[in-house]
Amino acid sequence: MYGFQFLHDKKYLPADAQLRENEFVMNDEGLLVWVGLDASGAPNQYTKGEVATGGWGTSTTIGTGSYGWGMPIVRKDATGSSAVIRIGDGTPKFKWGITNSVSWRNFDVFALIDAAVGGQVYNRINQRMYQWAKSRDVDQTGKPQELKKPIEYYIALYAANDPTDYFVEDAGYVKLREVSLKYRLTGRMLGYVQPFGAQGVAISVIGRNLYTSTKYKGYDPEVGTNTLTRIDAFEYPRYRTITGSIDITF
């Protein structure tokens, strides 16, 4: 998948900004931001946005670029335009699965666990929630005061819904894909239905997509197809279902 990238390293700053690279620091999200210098000539701390000289809401011009205090910076190409680069890959490195069946007396138990290792998904749902300030990432409740950020910070990350590396997430997972329990009637219980011609009866309960372990923030990492581009854009996730069945043999 291709899109824009927010800076995580000073080496990607424009040449004119690199001459003043000491004015840029990494914030708590690993993003490079401009904070300017204090009276001693040292860079301001990104945690001092409310009290530092300048701080949130101020900006500066360096060469041909404008930088807002503490705001994320988009990588530029040689022409000064936002650079379009590869920001992720939706294809997992590999998949694996384990299945097992166990029978004990009149019971049969079946279980299937499968997993995908590697691969990424673009979380466009979360990106859109940044626009509407409805993402839990935007909620500042409970954050230390020095790490709280204004809504403008998250609007900049929203980036007018353009694809950016900020919303590319690890889509690896381990899933309890299916568990089933079957009970075969015998003895007196089977005798109740044999007068109707039944030779055997089995009752089953089947659960699918019962549990998912993943780092992905969205509803389901198994979204889209395993191609170079996987986008989670308000698609229905795979359902967790529990069903039952009755098998009658005549």
Whole-angstrom CA distances from 2 to 122, 145, 151, 160 are: 10, 35, 26, 16
pLDDT score, position 198: 62
pLDDT, tens digit (0-9, with 9 covering 90-100), for 28-86: 999 999 999 988 999 999 998 887 668 999 999 999 899 999 999 999 999 999 999 99
Question: How far apart, in Å, are the Cα atoms of 76 and each of 18, 100, 160?
Answer: 13, 53, 17
Q: Are 31 and 8 in contact (CB under 8 A)?
A: yes
pLDDT at 229: 72
Give pLDDT, residue 117: 96
- 121 or 54: which carries more pLDDT confidence? 121
Is residue 191 predicted with pLDDT exceeding 90?
no
For residue 220, CA distances in Å to 2, 17, 23, 37, 55 come to 22, 40, 40, 44, 38
Residue 219's alpha-carbon distances to 28, 115, 214, in angstroms, are 25, 16, 10
The pLDDT assigned to 173 comes to 96
In angstroms, the CA 111 to CA 176 distance is 8
Percentage of residues of the chain with pLDDT beyond 90: 74
pLDDT at 200 over 70: no
Pairing of strands 32-34, 241-249: unpaired
* Contact (CB, 8 A) for 138 and 154: yes
Q: Which residues contact 183 (CB under 8 A, 6 or more apart)?
A: 106, 107, 202, 203, 204
Which pLDDT score is estimated for 57? 92
The pairing of strands 168-170 and 120-123 is antiparallel
Q: Coil, helix or strand for 70?
A: coil
Could you count the other beta carbons within 10 Å of the beta carbon of residue 49? 24
220-236 residue pLDDT tens: 998 876 666 789 998 88
- Tens-place pLDDT, residues 132-170: 889 999 999 999 999 999 999 999 999 999 999 999 999
Contact residues for 13 (Cβ-Cβ < 8 A; gap 6+): 7, 21, 24, 32, 73
Q: Which tokens sit at 44?
A: 């301001």
Residues 6+ positions from 189 with CB-CB distance below 8 Å: 201
What is the band of 237 on the pLDDT scale with cuts at 50, 70, 90? confident
Q: Of the candidates 138, 125, 159, which has an alpha carbon nearest to the alpha carbon of residue 3?
A: 159
Give the rounded percent of residues in the chain with a pLDDT score beyond 70. 92
From CA 176, how far away is CA 114, in angstroms rounded? 7
What distance in Å separates the CA atoms of residue 217 and residue 122, rounded to the nearest whole number? 11
